[in-house]
């Protein structure tokens, strides 16, 4: 059966998620239980920079945030200020807000970082009590979200014309994107953890979607992910609870002395 173009576009490949064994390698290295695959030295998980990186991985893996949403995440949008175990995404993709539940353990980790490590990363003129600023700053005391210039199309109306652009559909609107520093950090962490694939932040978002679909309904996961269409969320369903090794053994038609044709009854017997 020929797959439609829309299905090919929304379906996520198996190489874009982390398998359970790869998750074990990554978290084992971040928690100091495994030495680096490149240097043979353990990860200094007690340094402030290491705790920041570990918390970023935990948030992405447990919430499915986009990297830009993580860079824009303010302290006031976390359990530290909200008082409940949720993270609020303010003006995510398509300018949509959403609320994502988190565990008490992750909420506690965010609170400890804000109190202990975040003040040392803030710009020198910024107050630690100013919770309207981002949670994460780089080692150079800069936010991970940077201005990259201007666009000549109105971000509010998309070009159709509105009061903001004077009905012309055009105007100087600043664009922002997450710094490439985070992408380089993830690539380095993945190499030290011994991952065969290049680790990038969006891979953790894909992994969250697959894990969440294994225990929650697709509509709820769509809301958490901030998808505009359920077809996008459905692109993860073929990876839910997938055991490639078990599937390979189950489909081993030639070497187990049995041949199964295309008859549906025979296939059903084979799979049971």
Residue whose pair of structure tokens reads 């012309």 in the numeric block:
168
Q: Sign of dihedral through CA atoms 22, 25, 29, 33?
A: positive
Could you tell me the pTM of the whole model?
Answer: 0.77
Does residue 263 register a pLDDT over 50? no
Whole-number percent of the chain with pLDDT over 90: 40
DSSP 137-171: B-TTS-BSEEEEEEESS-TTTTTS--TTTTTSS--
Q: Sort residue 95 into left (φ over 0), alpha (ψ -120 to 50) or beta.
A: left
DSSP state of 74: B
Domain 14-144+179-201 sits in CATH at 1.10.443.10
Does residue 269 register a pLDDT over 50? no
Minimum mean pLDDT range among 142-146, 189-193, 221-225: 142-146
Q: Do 109 and 80 meet the contact criterion of CB atoms below 8 Å apart?
A: no
Say how far apart CA 264 and CA 254 lie, in whole Å: 18
The rounded Cα 79 to chain-centroid distance in angstroms is 19
Average pLDDT score over residue span 177-198:
88
pLDDT at site 40: 85
The domain spans of the chain are 14-144+179-201, 145-178
Express each pLDDT in 197-248 by its tens digit: 999 999 999 999 998 888 778 999 999 999 988 898 888 888 887 655 555 5
Express each pLDDT in 88-131 by its tens digit: 998 777 778 899 999 999 999 999 999 999 999 999 888 888 89
Say how far apart CA 237 and CA 216 lie, in whole Å: 12
* Residue from 212, 204, 263 nearest 70 by CA: 204
DSSP state of 100: E
pLDDT at site 118: 94
């Amino acid at each position: 059966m020929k797959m439609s173009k829309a299905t090919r576009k929304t379906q996520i490949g198996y190489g874009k998620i982390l398998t359970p064994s790869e998750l074990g390698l990554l978290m084992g290295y971040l928690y100091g239980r495994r030495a680096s695959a490149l240097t043979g030295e353990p990860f200094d998980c007690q340094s402030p920079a290491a705790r920041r990186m570990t918390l970023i991985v935990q948030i992405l893996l447990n919430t499915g945030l986009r990297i830009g949403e993580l860079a824009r995440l303010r302290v006031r949008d976390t359990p530290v200020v909200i008082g409940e175990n949720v993270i609020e995404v303010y003006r995510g993709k398509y300018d949509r807000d959403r609320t994502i539940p988190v565990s008490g353990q992750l909420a506690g980790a965010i609170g400890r970082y804000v109190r202990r490590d975040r003040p040392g990363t803030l710009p020198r003129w910024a107050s630690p009590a100013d919770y309207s600023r981002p949670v994460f700053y780089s080692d150079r005391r800069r936010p991970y979200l940077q201005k990259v210039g201007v666009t000549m199309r109105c971000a509010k109306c998309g070009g159709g014309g509105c009061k903001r652009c004077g009905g012309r559909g055009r105007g100087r609107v600043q664009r922002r994107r997450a710094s490439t520093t985070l992408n380089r950090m993830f690539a380095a962490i993945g190499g030290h953890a011994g991952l065969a694939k290049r680790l990038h932040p969006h891979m953790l978002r894909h992994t969250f979607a697959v894990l969440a679909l294994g225990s929650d309904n697709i509509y709820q996961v769509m809301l958490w992910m901030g998808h505009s269409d359920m077809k996008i969320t459905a692109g993860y369903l073929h990876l839910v609870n997938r055991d490639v090794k078990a599937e390979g053994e189950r489909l081993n038609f030639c070497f187990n002395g049995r041949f199964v044709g295309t008859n549906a009854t025979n296939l059903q017997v084979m799979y049971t």
